């Protein structure tokens, strides 16, 4: 757990960022429609991520070629990833707009963690899947406790 302090630090920062973004999303849904919010967010996010990808790529990588090659090689994966990412975020925003409890909705979102662990083990051949799955299931149980205590 503490043997990789940099990983732990990034995990902690990601957790804090998730909390701030969740609160911001919930507040934004009091003032704007989910579809408009997602559209404007993606207009800002896509160029920013393209710049980040360009800046963090190896000097000999052609980012444009890599991106286009991915679309040509596996177009349904890219399409499915895009559609499901958009749809899931839109549904979360819609739930906030309908008055969902921010803490409960955020907890329910984390149920995806065990699924991510399974996919990482099966598709990416990550090691130590059993331990990760155990901790992610423990997290899911905690989520159930949060929701049940509401």
Give the pLDDT confidence of 79-110 residue by residue, as tens digits.
998 898 889 899 999 999 999 888 888 877 77
pLDDT at 150: 63
**8 A C-beta contact, residue 38 and residue 93:** yes
Residues of the chain with pLDDT under 50: none
Q: Please report the DSSP string for 4-72 in residue order.
A: -HHHHHHHHHHHHHHHHHHHHHHHHTTTS-HHHHHHHHHHHHHHHHHHHHHHHS-TT--HHHHHHHHHH
pLDDT at 125: 80
75: Cβ contacts below 8 Å, ≥ 6 apart:
none
111: Cβ contacts below 8 Å, ≥ 6 apart:
140, 143
- Cα separation, 47 vs 69, in Å, equals 19
Per the listing, tokens 């090689």 go with 73
Within 13 A of 56's CA, how many CA atoms are on the CB side?
6
Q: pTM (2 decimals)? A: 0.72
- Cα separation, 58 vs 65, in Å, equals 13
């Amino acid at each position: 757990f503490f043997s990789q302090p940099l990983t732990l630090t990034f995990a902690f920062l990601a957790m804090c960022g998730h909390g701030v973004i969740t609160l911001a999303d919930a507040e934004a849904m009091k003032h704007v429609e989910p579809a408009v919010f997602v559209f404007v967010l993606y207009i800002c996010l896509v160029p920013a991520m393209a710049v980040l990808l360009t800046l963090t790529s190896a000097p000999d990588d052609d980012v444009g070629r890599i991106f286009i090659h991915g679309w040509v090689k596996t177009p349904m994966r890219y399409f499915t990833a895009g559609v499901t990412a958009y749809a899931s975020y839109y549904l979360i925003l819609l739930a906030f707009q309908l008055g969902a409890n921010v803490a409960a909705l955020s907890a329910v979102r984390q149920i995806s963690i065990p699924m991510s662990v399974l996919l990482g083990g099966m598709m990416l051949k990550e090691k130590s899947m059993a331990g990760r799955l155990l901790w992610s299931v423990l997290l899911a149980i905690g989520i159930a406790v949060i929701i049940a205590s509401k």
